[in-house]
Amino acid sequence: MSAPHPHDHPYREAIMAEVHARPVEIVPEACRLRRLVFVMPAVSGAMMRVFHAFESFCEETGYPLPTLASRQYSFATPRHHVTWEFHTEFVTVTWRSDLDDWENWPDDIGLGALTQAQLIGAMRIDVTADSTVRDALVPGFNLPSLCLADIESGNGQVATDFVPDADRFTRFELAAGRLTVLRRSIVVRRLLEVETYRTMALLGLPLAREAAGDLRSIELDLTALVESLSAATTPAAVQQSLSELHKLSVRSGQLSERLGYRFAAGQAYGDILRMRLANLRENSTARGSTLTHYIGNRVDPGLATCAAMEKRLAVVSDKIERAIGLLDVRIGVDMQVQNAAVLDSIAQTARSQFLLQRTVEGLSTIAISYYLLGILSYLLAGPLEELHWEKTMALSIAAPFVVLAVWLMARAVRRAHTPAGMH
């Protein structure tokens, strides 16, 4: 009897596919690569609209249609080898051509599908079969920001200055003559990713600078409000302070909503950037800085600014919540005091009503007894005269019994109308 086949986990296929989701594109020993990085607008369905527009482009030009599961899609035109990559919030378009290709914006790679997206990065890598970057190419870079380093333990060399040219492309020179085909292709991909994630990691920095004034205003308003809490001695003043705190909470919440995702994404991109730089295995040269050193000196402070802003925002939110909590406790205590005073007043009123009720019952007993004795005097007048009894003496003898009977009757009525447990 053969053993039964085990059932696959529902995520097994997706996990296996992830290993090959973004394969390395093999590049020749001499070529020119360009990459554009487009950020999607912050509206629902923006990425799907771009994908469908790209799908229409492929259908119109006769290229095989991409699938939703394919996050990296490559095709060849008569002049270029093109690769589209779909990420969470951005799309990259990379194409490869000959070293003598100077067309930065070709019309056969599908850029028309990205009309709603915004360009955030553009780069060009010239790959040569040289062992080092040619001296004649170095003067074309900006000297103060020149990065020229050995990579892959000295088997290759890369140069850049991170300065965009007239067409907004950042230029890289890669001398990969001593690298194997696979290592050359891997290095090219890492350089593309370094520039891509360097750009995306700093996308939150302008937002942090713009939000600094709003955050400072919230901090100052909160400080002034907390200092004034001791002067809020009346319920109206406490309610006013609570209302102001809720307004500050809304403002800080809106700021957090606007910045939270951007800062978290920036930190994630920064982590990927550091890994890609470490994988280049750089060594410094006498002619320029390493990419790791230069980018670290620029990107890390920017990410630190975003992290500090995020921490300040969290601290402000915590302070606001604590202040609201304190005021809620104070309002609760004030309400308990008021309720105790109301209950005490109700108890005093009830006691007064009880005493009044007893007084009324006593007076009622006397009044009823008086009238009842008057009725008895009329009823007994005839019989007492026939019996020759003294009328006054008879009523005097009957009076205590009449009063007792009326009192017992009033007590029975009161007990009948009193709830159980309150007798």
Angle 235-279/205-227 helices, nearest 10 degrees?
Answer: 150
- Does the predicted model carry a pTM greater than 0.95? no
Least confident of 14-23, 30-39, 191-200, 236-245: 14-23
Instruction: Write the single-letter amino acid at 26.
Output: I
- Per-residue pLDDT at 254 exceeds 80: yes
The pLDDT tens digits for 337-357 are 777 777 778 878 777 776 766
**Any idea which of 12-26, 265-279, 284-298 has the lowest mean pLDDT?**
12-26
Which one-letter amino acid corresponds to residue 45?
G
- pLDDT tier for residue 167 given thresholds of 50, 70 and 90: very high
* C-alpha atoms less than 13 angstroms from C-alpha of 369 in its C-beta half-sphere: 21
Rounded mean pLDDT, 23-35: 94
Burial code (b: 16+ CB inside 10 Å, e: under 16) for 385-395 equals: eeeeeeeeebb
CA distance 356 to 117: 84
Residue 222: closest CA among 324, 299, 83, 306: 324
Closest CA to 174 of 155, 193, 153: 155
Type of residue at 9: H
Q: Mean pLDDT of all residues in the chain?
A: 86
Segment 301-330 shows an average pLDDT of: 89
Q: What is the pLDDT of residue 384?
A: 64
Count the neighbouring beta carbons within 10 Å of the beta carbon of residue 13: 11
Checking DSSP bridges between strand 170-175 and strand 147-151, what pairing results, if any? unpaired
Alpha-carbon span 107 to 127, nearest angstrom: 23
Which of the two residues, 231 and 28, has the higher pLDDT score?
28
Q: Kindly state the average pLDDT of the residues 248-276.
A: 93
Question: From CA 41, how far away is CA 51, in angstroms rounded?
Answer: 14
The two tokens of residue 32 are 């020119």
**Chain centre to alpha carbon of residue 95:** 37
Mean pLDDT within 148-158: 95
Q: Is the pLDDT of residue 388 over 90?
A: no
Task: Using pLDDT thresholds of 50, 70 and 90, give the confidence band for residue 386.
Answer: low
